[in-house]
Structure 1
């Protein structure tokens, strides 16, 4: 391992020594390199003098650690204390330590190349930050030593001991996690940043708002307060009241079957579920994304509508109100992937469409209707699955409008 020795006259030297080397042998090397007699050398580690008979590993000295050397003949106890370190790794006299390092041009050159953060603090005027970094490095070395000691203990553990095997398994797993984390920091650092969700500027019934684009939500949702602000509550169809189940659940107040939304400079018809969700304003869900053939273009960071006839940019984080952060969580509760709205007037329909019929009701064979296939094709073009369309038309005795209303509500 390598240790750095700093002398009282501001000399630095790096020694390559064995971890179990005696302190006396280290002093012998220093006598040759620094021309200081062994008997006059006083070595300090973490502010404490170390004896000739001690071994480096027993003192806790590890690879990369710093050892102070002062000459008994030329140094007073005051200067020794100035160049020593506290138990937490900080310098007893940070100003003296900083000046020692600054005056050694070779050491500064090496630090600028290998440890620019430490070098900048040595050259700067913030001694508190320098002390914090020394403590941080000391803590990192202590943690590394602790892990190494644990790994060493496991090597000599009883291979037939169940608890030892569990510890070995945990150590191997943690090592894999640490390596994976280090690789991610190097190759995929953006994964540790918060992902900004997708918002665009829209107008609903002439009222500008910021729409949360969520392809994982089944339905387009508007809050009661937003619908009121947009003048749409008068169109609320309360027959579609119920509960929306997703990650959580939220009350459905009803449905607004059609209203104009403006994206870019073009108007599009849109239908909404109205939810009692005060923190969730407007969510542009999968039903309208499919209906209007939208493309979420993350390369260009735009939402393309109508197959590309309109493109609007996704908002930057600074343009998104901070209270909208809760909207992302609430939208998943209100209309998460796979959510099932249970409308009070149509719950029985939801239960029985999966089985192809309704209890206690008899329907004619709607498939014999000569226009049946045309109705199926028309609804399929809106983005619904063929099987779901056929079941809906059967259930509503071929009534295209009622089947479409059910499919949009589902």
Structure 2
């Protein structure tokens, strides 16, 4: 393993040593490198002096660790106060420790390679954050050492001990997970970053808002409060109330059959389900994405509408109001992957001949072959929500529903 030695005069030495090497032999190597006699050397690890007879493995020294070397009593005292560590891994004098690292360009270069997060904090001005990450690194080293000790113990375990074999199997599995995690950190670090969902600027009935673009939601959704703000609540058709089931479920208050939305400089007709969901404002779903031939272009980071006639950029995180950042979870809960809309008994909807008789979707769903009809029509290329609605309009008559869908 390789360890880094920092001397009192800020010299950096990297040595390749065996983990079972004694401290005395390490000092002998340092005597050749620094010309400081072995007897005058004092080595510090995690702020504590390490003795000649101790082995590096027994002290917990691992690959890439830093060991301080001081020579003479006065130097030892000064270095310990500046570079020493508390039992929890934090620096005794964080300001001196930070300044010491900043003054050594070689050490900072090594630190940027081995631990860029710590290097950035060292260059910052938050000493509390520096102490926190030093404690974290100390805890990580202790955990790694504990695991290695457990692995060593398992090597000598009774091969006929069932519990020991289970632990060995778990250790092998965990090692594979850790190696996979390390490979991801190196080759795919962006996978650990937070992914901001897709938002674009739109106008609904001349009211500007941030629209959440979600191709995983079957229907376009607007909240009751947003519909009211846009002056559309007066058009709410409550005959289409019901339940929207996605990850969770929300109450469908009704439907607004058509209203103008403006994307870029072009107006498009749009229909909405109105949900009683105060945490979700406006979701642009698959129904309108398909109707208006939209393309989600992630290479150019734009939403193309009308087959490409309009292109609007997706918003950067800084342009999305903080109140909307939690909207993604609520939108998924409200996304209409399975909507049950209940037509009221008052009046009839505006449909072709053979319209609804007033029965609820619940009664239709209870038919043994209803789901088979839905599946058959979905296989023809129609959306599930549209198929369910068409079957409701025609009291479950598959032929009439198909004719209506093809005619639409």
TM-score w.r.t. the length of structure 2 is 0.74
Q: Give the Cα separation in 2 of the matches to 1:7 and 1:386.
A: 75
1:395 is paired with a residue whose SS is coil
**Is the alpha carbon distance of 1:172 and 1:265 closer, same or farther for their aligned partners in structure 2, counting shifts above 3 Å?**
same
Unaligned runs of 5+ in 2: 345-357, 372-376
Q: Does 1:115 align with 2:111?
A: yes
Q: Give the Cα separation in 2 of the matches to 1:6 and 1:133.
A: 20
**Is the alpha carbon distance of 1:350 and 1:318 closer, same or farther for their aligned partners in structure 2, counting shifts above 3 Å?**
farther
Alignment-derived partner of residue 287 in structure 2: 287
Alignment-derived partner of residue 173 in structure 2: 173
Q: 1:337: how far off?
A: 2.7
Alignment-derived partner of residue 164 in structure 2: 164
Alignment of 1:326-345 (within 5 A): 326-343=326-343, 345=358
Unaligned runs of 5+ in 1: 358-375
Q: Give the Cα separation in 1 of the matches to 2:25 and 2:5.
A: 14
Q: 1:385: how far off?
A: 9.9
Alignment-derived partner of residue 231 in structure 2: 231
Q: 1:140: how far off?
A: 4.0
**Is the alpha carbon distance of 1:28 and 1:385 closer, same or farther for their aligned partners in structure 2, counting shifts above 3 Å?**
closer
**Is the alpha carbon distance of 1:389 and 1:258 closer, same or farther for their aligned partners in structure 2, counting shifts above 3 Å?**
closer
Alignment-derived partner of residue 221 in structure 2: 221
Alignment-derived partner of residue 306 in structure 1: 306
Alignment-derived partner of residue 260 in structure 2: 260
Q: 1:264: how far off?
A: 2.2
2:274 is paired with a residue whose SS is strand
TM-score w.r.t. the length of structure 1 is 0.74
What do the CA deviations read for 1:240-270 (whole angstroms, capped 9, x no partner)?
1222222222112111222222222222222
Q: Does 1:197 align with 2:193?
A: no
Q: Does 1:269 align with 2:269?
A: yes
Conservation of the 8 A alpha-carbon contact between 1:353 and 1:392: no
Conservation of the 8 A alpha-carbon contact between 1:240 and 1:346: no
Q: Give the Cα separation in 1 of the matches to 2:234 and 2:101.
A: 76
What do the CA deviations read for 1:22-72 (whole angstroms, capped 9, x no partner)?
444444445555555555555554555544444443344444445555556
**Is the alpha carbon distance of 1:233 and 1:154 closer, same or farther for their aligned partners in structure 2, counting shifts above 3 Å?**
same
Alignment-derived partner of residue 146 in structure 1: 146
Q: Give the Cα separation in 1 of the matches to 2:102 and 2:275.
A: 66
Q: 1:133: how far off?
A: 6.2
Alignment of 1:61-76 (within 5 A): 61-69=61-69
Alignment-derived partner of residue 360 in structure 2: 347
Q: Give the Cα separation in 2 of the matches to 1:399 and 1:262.
A: 37
Q: Give the Cα separation in 1 of the matches to 2:99 and 2:227.
A: 68
Q: 1:141: how far off?
A: 3.3
2:163 is paired with a residue whose SS is helix
Alignment-derived partner of residue 209 in structure 2: 209
Q: Give the Cα separation in 1 of the matches to 2:247 and 2:96.
A: 60
Conservation of the 8 A alpha-carbon contact between 1:254 and 1:273: yes
Q: Which moved more, 1:113-122 or 1:285-294?
A: 113-122
